[in-house]
Structure 1
Amino acid sequence: MSSPNDGGEAAITIEDVTHVYGAGTDAVTAVGPVDLTVPEGEFLVLVGASGCGKSTLLRLIAGFEEPTTGTVRAAGQPPRPGRGAGLVFQQPRLFPWRTAGGNVDLALRYAKVPKEERVARVPQLLADVGLRDVERRRVWQISGGQQQRVAIARALAVDNPLLLLDEPFAALDALTRERLQEDLRRVSAATGRTSVFVTHSVDEAVFLGSRVVVLTARPGRVALDLPIPLPRSGVEPEELRARPEYAALRAEIGHAVRAAA
């Protein structure tokens, strides 16, 4: 199944992919078969019940796993772990002995960005995710929501073509989660980076995605592939969520998630 957004160059292609854990009588098919094409600049959200293979599919795209059958390509090449994609997980996974700015600076150092450029870019990256005046604070001195913002800034630090996010807001309180959704949506609109976001939340999927794919219960297959024709910028979050078309999309996706579980 191809993307609803035709015409764009493919950032990700997933062709007839299955993934099996274990062997023999212990074998469990987690995903597949799945076919997806993700054009450049798309914000794809994978949503579905627990155990449907969302995170497995993300790991295949990141190159942490290899498909049992089929092929996965990122920019036309087999994905390699740690190359070509910024990653954000459920937990921030920051270095606690470094400051907030030091964690972002480290990503830039690994990318061989010159020191004088890093000095300017670190505070800007933190500001882009709504963080100011925390650059010199240790990780343990900032809140969980702020730590996750630092993790997003770190993932955005290097100009990778892909941003992959595995339920990054799941452990946060509702208010912090909503604010981070708004920040991520704004940054996504500004950068145009191809993104794949995993979530259980239908509302989060509609708010963030330019396209939503609902997966069935294990083994995960595509149950619904739906473009989200909502403006990506220039509309306040409250206004966007109040629109009738927003409610209609949320209802359609919610129904598909329940039917596929």
Structure 2
Amino acid sequence: MSSSEITGTAQIEEAQGVPAERAGSVRLDRVTHRYGRGGDAVTAVGPVDLTIPAGEFLVLVGASGCGKSTLLRLIAGFEEPTHGSVRVSGIAPRPGETAGVVFQTPRLFPWRTVRGNIDLALRYAGVGRAQWAERRAELLARVGLEGTEGRRVWEISGGQQQRVAIARALAAENPLLLLDEPFAALDALTRERLQEDVRRVTERTGRTSVFVTHSADEAVFLGSRIVVLTRSPGTVALDLPITLPRGDLDAEELRGSREFAELRAQVAHTVKAAAAA
């Protein structure tokens, strides 16, 4: 669908009293996804109804195998639901176009430098070559990697590699960022630092973010909203808005606050109960 067709559809919907979808908004209507066929089919997730407003930081949390990553792939357009519908900005998601995606491992090209990895993402995003240097510098500054352009992938740490992956995901100007347990393999200190960086970057860019994790602590620190999934097939066990005084406290103070501890305990309890049900 072209941009003019999207605009026309939005105008028709508004005329009919249906609000047009904002860029970056996500809507899942009665979504179910199965793997396999016939008697061997396994329902991984669903039915799930979920609306994510533009600009929200939603965290999906739950035990292994509950369907978190499946939902993320459906939103990204990498897979299609068996039943129901997924809409991003009012239309069906298109893989590689709808969202920037960060995986558990950086998935960088090891034969390229940091510069080469970022430039490739800019090229696929349709950015003109004349703008690459400026955009590259901006992206690397966002993730705290100034001065690393000429380094090879093996010359930077695991945390730095994941920062490059985040910068690459931000290269396209799409309004949706999807992150599938991107810090799972990192040490605790690096993980906390990158959590702070991701929260800061998404706040500055205003992008809608969907983040998958097993950690109740990570979910509460990052999310403006948390959705806990039941055991497979995953359905919504808890849909919890997070209101913490983020602007008034630094990261250490926030994690040490009573409100943070109470929310973390609530989420952790719900995850355990949902996994056992």
TM-score by length of 1: 0.94
Cα distance in 2, alignment partners of residues 67 and 98 from structure 1? 35
Asked whether 1:137 is paired with 2:164, we answer no
Residue matched to 1:4: none
Share of identical aligned residues, percent? 72
Aligned to 2:263: 249
Equivalent residue for 2:163, pick from 137, 146, 149: 149
Shift in Å, 1:158: 1.2
Partner of 2:228: 214
1:122-169 Cα distance to aligned partner (Å, 9 max, x none): 122112112121111011111111000000000011111110010000
1:164 aligns to what SS in structure 2?
A: strand
Deviates more, 1:214-223 or 1:102-111: 102-111
**Distance apart, 1:107 and its partner CA:** 1.1
Q: Is the 8 A contact 1:44 1:212 kept in 2?
A: yes
Q: Is the 8 A contact 2:100 2:169 kept in 1?
A: yes
The residue correspondences of 1:1-261 to structure 2 (distance < 5 A) are: 11-233=25-247, 235-261=249-275
| Aligned mates of 1:112, 1:223 — CA distance in 2 | 40
Give the Å deviation of 1:25: 2.0
Q: Structure 1 counterpart of 2:202, which letter?
A: S
How far residue 233 of structure 1 moved from its aligned partner, in angstroms, is 4.0
Between 1:190-199 and 1:20-29, the stretch displaced more is 20-29
- Unpaired segments ≥5 residues, structure 1: 1-6
Amino acid at match of 2:92: P
Instruction: Quote how far apart the aligned CAs of 1:99 are.
Output: 0.8
TM-score (norm 2): 0.89
Q: Alpha carbons of 1:210 and 1:54: their partners in 2 closer, same or farther (altered >3 Å)?
A: same
The structural deviation recorded for 1:115 is 2.4
C-alpha deviation, 1:228, in angstroms: 0.6
**Cα deviation code 1:100-127 (max 9, x no counterpart):** 1221111111222222321112122112
C-alpha contact (below 8 Å) 1:186/1:233 kept by paired residues: no
Q: Decide whether the 8 Å contact of 1:129 with 1:149 is kept in 2.
A: yes
Contact 1:49 1:200 in 2 (8 A): yes
CA 1:154–1:245 in 2, change beyond 3 Å: closer, same or farther? Answer: same
Structure of higher CA gyration radius: 2
| Separation in 1, partners of 2:126, 2:201 | 23
Q: Distance in 2 between the 1:200 and 1:81 partners? A: 25
Amino acid at match of 1:111: A
Paired residues of 1:47 and 1:199 also in contact (CA < 8 A): yes
Report which stretch shifted further, 233-242 or 17-26.
Answer: 233-242
Following TM superposition, where does structure 1 have runs of at least 4 consecutive aligned residues deviating by more than 2 angstroms? 7-10, 231-235
Whole-angstrom CA distance in 2 between matches of 1:111 and 1:8: 21
Whole-angstrom CA distance in 1 between matches of 2:130 and 2:198 = 27
Structure 2: which 5+ runs fail to align? Answer: 1-20
Q: Is the 8 A contact 1:17 1:35 kept in 2?
A: yes
Alignment RMSD (CA, Å): 1.5
**1:189, 1:232 within 8 Å by CA — same for their partners in 2?**
no
The amino acid that maps onto 2:148 is V
Secondary structure at the residue paired with 2:25? strand
Task: Please tell me whether the aligned partners of residues 223 and 242 of structure 2 are also in contact (alpha carbons under 8 angstroms).
Answer: yes
Inter-partner Cα distance in structure 2 for 1:9 and 1:149: 25
Q: Secondary structure at the match of 1:130?
A: coil
> Structure 1 pair 233/125, CA: closer, same or farther in 2 (3 Å)?
farther
